[in-house]
Structure 1
Amino acid sequence: MTATFQTVKNMFSAYLNQDFDLVFGTVDDAIRAFVQHSAPDEVSRAKHEIRTILAMQLPEEELQKVILQDLGSCYYYPAEWASAQLWLEHVLALLVS
């Protein structure tokens, strides 16, 4: 599945790695850094990939596996967000703004 979502995997593994809080402070600042440091077409691909993931309407448990294992996010969103869908929608909003 990660080959289909390579841009999001690159974003999560590079910006939401195990040290993201030390480097960026917050997860939102890490996503904003991705936007600042990436070419517009890369940000557009990330938005498209997140929209595609959301459209798949995966069960929460499966979507959590995709985010935390397949896409390499070290940010444990369940500690702050009620669902993966809500968190991905938030990430999408940060990419759009």
Structure 2
Amino acid sequence: MTTESGIRERRYTRVQLPISAEVCGESGSHLPRPAHLRDISAGGAFFYAEFEPKVGTVLQVNFVVPGIGSDVQISCEGRVVRVETESIGAQIGIAVAFDRLNLGPL
């Protein structure tokens, strides 16, 4: 959403979360591929990876957030809404909007 002053507002607050992740489901592949999260919100995530999915592709993103006492396993399923090919080095920037989000202790 864009305000009258032209400032873009987001439905959910984004949190910077630069950690490693695994992504699967691209092009029917169920083999996990390495990725690196940049940020996440209740509605989606942005990460870098070495593959280029098509917009609309359903991906599963799995990662572990270190916690006090115990780590938390997060598994998300979402659709690719944006792909940035002009990203860091050979990495592709991928934005997904979540359809499903599961949290659980390790």
Please indicate the TM-score interval, normalised by the length of the shorter structure.
under 0.3
TM-score (norm 1): 0.26
Greater per-residue helix proportion = 1
Higher Cα radius of gyration: 2
TM-score by length of 2: 0.25
The structure whose residues are more often strand, as a share, is 2
Determine which structure has greater relative contact order: mean sequence separation of CA pairs < 8 Å that are 6+ residues apart, divided by chain length: 1
